[in-house]
Amino acid sequence: MREDYKLTTIDFSNLSLMALDMKGIGARLSQICSVRTKDGFDLLYSFVKDYEFINYKISINEDTEIESITAIFPNAFLYENEMSELFGIKIKYIALDYKNKLYDIAVETPFK
């Protein structure tokens, strides 16, 4: 059997709304991951509700500043700090902001 999952593309301005939606249905935040594209990044937010695997894709430019969802899902802080440190994605309002010192690596934004 192969697992089928949903992948919906949304605009970055709807990020918090989407997170609230997910919280409303009782899903848990499973992971956030970013992928470098030609002129920006793809952000992939994954949620799990029972056995359903729900994914949202947000494409942003290099200098787009997104909002943190730590106020909605507290466990997002690790993923968001990771994205900001490794990819150089600008994120505001992270609850526990390591200021790009989560891994404390020697090179700057290696995935950028």
Query: Where along the sequence are the contacts to other proteins (CB under 8 A)?
Result: 1-3, 5, 26-31, 33, 35-36, 44, 46, 48, 50-51, 53, 55, 73-75, 77-78, 96, 98, 101-107, 110-111
- Closest distance between other proteins and the C-beta of residue 6, in Å? 10
- Closest distance between other proteins and the C-beta of residue 16, in Å? 16
Q: Which helix (H) or strand (E) holds 61?
A: strand 52-61
3-state secondary structure of 43: strand
Estimate to the nearest angstrom the gap between the alpha carbon of 96 and the chain centroid: 15
- Give 44 or 67: the residue with its C-beta nearer to other proteins: 44
- Give 20 or 74: the residue with its C-beta nearer to other proteins: 74
Estimate to the nearest angstrom the gap between the alpha carbon of 80 and the chain centroid: 6
- Closest distance between other proteins and the C-beta of residue 64, in Å? 19
Among positive and negative, which fits the CA dihedral 96, 101, 103, 108?
positive
- Closest distance between other proteins and the C-beta of residue 85, in Å? 9
- Give 13 or 104: the residue with its C-beta nearer to other proteins: 104
Q: Please report, for residues 42, 87, 103, the alpha-carbon distance to residue 96 in angstroms, rounded to integers and kept in the order given.
A: 23, 18, 14
Strands 40-49 and 90-92, bridge-based pairing? unpaired
